[in-house]
Structure 1
Amino acid sequence: MIVKLHSKEEALNFLEKTDFYDLLFLANSGRKKYKGNKIELCAIVNAKSGACPEDCSFCCQSLKWKTHAPVYPLMDRYEILKKALEAKNYKVKRFSIVISGIKPSKQEMKKIAEAIESLRKNGINSCASLGLLNYDEISYLKDYGLQRLHCNIETSEEFFPKICTTHKFSDKVKTLEAAKKAGVSICSGGVFGMGESWKDIVSMAYFLKEFNVDSVPINFLTPIKGTPLENQPVLSPLEALKIIAMFRLILPEKDIRVCGGRPLLGEFSSWIFISGANALMTGDYLTTQGRSYIDDLKFIENHNLEIDYVVP
């Protein structure tokens, strides 16, 4: 059975009235219909860390918060390539270069472009998360082989000012519009458990649906000491699973990708697929430890699922 939710109001009403296990059943049916039994893996490298002038309340890399986040300049392309090749050996389909800050400098852009070119020459699907880029900058990287741009909207437009004041939701949208114009694939999602309401979550999902993004990364907040959200209660595993299921139902044909914060699921980790997820970030996160490539490959195999991996 496939459910179609045509409006935010319909989705909120459906979520309120639908039993949790029925919701998961419907989400899993959608995953199987549109994605089969294949799970896609992606991985990232924190290619430039810390010293960020932005004030995103969930992020430990901001200069404004007193945390122990590592601080270092942009890695060279050989170090980035080394990490990408390691990921490729474990059937990771996409590899993303992530940096802190508003956007790269011109010198950094050239180095990132060279790193993307190295990934392309080694048969690696490239992605990048580089802040608030414009059309010319994205087109420049595309010429070197960039296939996908990642830029999270983080939350709903209404809730956004409560988690960031140094840039606006509309600035994120401009970057997504530039990526669409440049003709690269788009990955955009956000962080859940920051104090947002279900109305905010549904509003965010419909924005991504209307924008027709290709991949939706779902991150669950891991409160970090020193940030404004250090005392924010973490989501329960069932709340987290419900979020995954809701995104599958609203964006049935898209990649629903579980990324940061997976450990909070605990014994319910094995439920992410029946909740509708068809993609995972594997390996380490930006500043926290994730799951090893080997563990995630076994995790998927133990669920009798296949790795969505074809050498480009």
Structure 2
Amino acid sequence: MIVLRDVLHKALNNQITQDEALYILNKVQTVEDFLELAKVASRVRDDEVGAIFKFDGFIGSITPCTTNPPCKYCSRSAGNRPDFAEKPLTIEEIEIGAKLIDNTGTKRVELGGGTLWSGAGEKVIEAVKAVKKVSSMDIWINVGPSLNKGDLIKLKELGVKEVCSSLETINPKVFQEAKPGDSLEARMKLAEEINEVGLGLKSVMMVGIGSSYEDYVKHIFWFKKFENLSSVSITGLRPIPGTPFQDKPMANPLEVAKVGAVARLVLRDVDIGFGGMMNDPRLLPLWIMAGGNRAIHLGAHVHRVWSTPIRHPNTIVEKHGDIEFVNMLPLTTRLAKEMGMEVDIE
């Protein structure tokens, strides 16, 4: 008979098995049990990657999204994100954004955009060169399956550190329901090619779109096949009004944290972050409790000026033409430090 305390004690020094991971997800349903899991996940994080929280910058969107129909949870399916559909940032705006983020002491930045199914290699390479022209930040890319192997090789030659291929779910039926215009096979192929060319592989799994605990475990252990896996984000569904998923239940933050904590016990030494409805500074302490050590959208970011922006206290917001610079670092670095973490902002 499996006992939670025994599994967690083993997990302090050794990767847990698939059966043990599934047991933890099913067993941890109370605050008391979650606190035991969090204690071990945060200890493994500290031992394997250090008690240092990484805050990435974000510049986007650098590419339009041509996924048709749009993913059912995405704001594009509500028709209220023209920046994603037809107004990606210009090269000049990308340069301005890179300078602004670099000045905050941020060490790495995501260049993110939609999936351009005709291919985004040239656009991405141009954007990378623009950032490198004005800053020394490490760069990683997230534009979905818009890149071929040749593009990946060129990006590596340019010094790009990581490329993301996010599946959201490893369950084909759940994927098809949530992302009818997308391709699970294309995303899996991109992940294989990122790994093959020697780039760091980032990926994302989403809680709340219909995946089961068995799916989460299968997905986490699928990551184990990639020797160059560098980072995994666990996102939680935040239903957006006007989208086909508007009436779905929002993901429970504790469930998202639980999946992330189990991922930490399996993957051990990779960066783990959270996203979706977890992109809220008020939830950052929960990230840290669950073994997280890296955030993308809680630092400094540059995007098109939004008509309905989310404003958090203690953040800096500046408009530069048609783009907006939002710096959450004064707030989020303080929260991380007050949780006993160092931060990697210079």
Which TM class, normalised by the smaller chain length?
A: 0.7 to 0.9
* 2:325 alignment partner in structure 1: none
Preserved CA contact (<8 Å) 2:284 2:335: no
Q: Identify which range, 162-171 or 28-37, moves more after superposition.
A: 162-171
Query: In the TM superposition, what is the alpha-carbon distance from 1:304 to its structure 2 partner?
Result: 3.0
What is the CA–CA distance in structure 2 between the aligned matches of 1:117 and 1:264, rounded to whole Å? 31
Give the C-alpha shift of residue 290 in structure 1. 7.6
Secondary structure of the residue that 2:265 maps to in structure 1? helix
1:173 pairs with 175, 180, 188, which one?
Answer: 188
Q: Are residue 8 (structure 1) and residue 18 (structure 2) matched?
A: yes
- SS of the residue corresponding to residue 163 of structure 2 reads strand
Post-superposition CA distance 1:248-305 (Å, at most 9, x none): 1111111001233225685x54122121001112245977748622211222222232
Please list, as runs of the form range in 1=range in 2, the aligned pairs for 1:49-128 lying within 5 A after superposition: 49=64, 52-61=67-76, 65-71=77-83, 72-103=86-117, 105=119, 109-121=121-133, 122-128=135-141
1:147 — aligned with what? 161
CA distance in 1, matches of 2:219, 2:65: 27
Alpha carbons of structure 1 residues 299 and 195: separation in structure 2 relative to 1, 3 Å: same
**1:167-195 C-alpha deviation (Å, 9 max, x unpaired):** 33221111111112222111111222112
Superposition deviation, residue 54 in structure 1: 4.5
Which is further off, 233-242 or 146-155?
A: 233-242
For 1:302, which of 315, 332, 338 is the aligned residue? Answer: 338
- Which residues of structure 1 form unaligned runs of 5+? none
**1:230 and 2:246 correspond:** yes
Asked if the contact 1:148–1:187 (Cα under 8 Å) also holds between the matched residues in 2, the reply is yes
Judged with a 3 Å threshold, the aligned counterparts in structure 2 of structure 1 residues 305 and 245 are, in CA distance, closer, same or farther, namely same
Q: Does the 8 Å CA contact 2:67/2:181 hold for their aligned counterparts?
A: no
Q: Runs in 1 of length 4+ with deviation above 3 angstroms?
A: 4-7, 48-52, 71-74, 102-105, 263-266, 283-291
Match of 1:275 in 2: 290
Task: Please say if residues 93 and 124 of structure 1, whose CA atoms lie closer than 8 Å, have aligned partners that are also in contact.
Answer: yes
Are the structure 2 counterparts of residues 17 and 111 from structure 1 closer, same or farther at C-alpha, using a change threshold of 3 Å?
closer
Q: 1:214 aligns with which of 221, 230, 233?
A: 230
What is the alpha-carbon distance in structure 1 between the residues aligned to residue 63 and residue 27 of structure 2? 45
SS of structure 2 residue aligned to 1:9: helix
What is the deviation of 1:222? 1.3
Local SS of the residue matching 1:277: coil
The percent identity for this pair of structures is 23
Aligned mates of 1:137, 1:290 — CA distance in 2: 37
Relative to structure 1, the CA distance from residue 265 to residue 163 in structure 2 (aligned partners, 3 Å threshold; closer, same or farther) is farther
Give yes or no for contact 1:58–1:227 (8 Å, CA) kept in 2: yes
Q: 1:134 to 1:110 in 2, by over 3 A?
A: closer
- Partner residue, 2:266: 250
Structure 2: tracts of 5 or more residues without a match: 1-8, 313-327
Partner of 1:241: 257
- Report SS of the residue matched to 2:56: strand
Q: CA deviation at 1:205?
A: 1.0
Match of 2:323 in 1: none
Amino acid in the other structure paired with 1:11: A
Deviation at 1:57, TM superposition (A): 1.8
Q: Is the contact between residue 156 and residue 199 of structure 2 (CA under 8 Å) also seen in structure 1? A: yes
Q: Following TM superposition, by how much is the alpha carbon of 1:2 offset from its aligned partner in structure 2, in angstroms?
A: 5.3
Aligned positions of 1:43-54 closer than 5 A: 43-46=57-60, 47-49=62-64, 52-54=67-69
The change in CA–CA distance for 1:44 and 1:260 in structure 2 (over 3 A counts) is: farther
> Contact 2:65–2:116 (CA<8 Å) still a contact in 1?
no
Check the 8 A contact 2:260/2:292 in 1, yes or no. Answer: yes
Q: In structure 2, what is the Cα distance between the partners aligned to 1:260 and 1:53?
A: 21
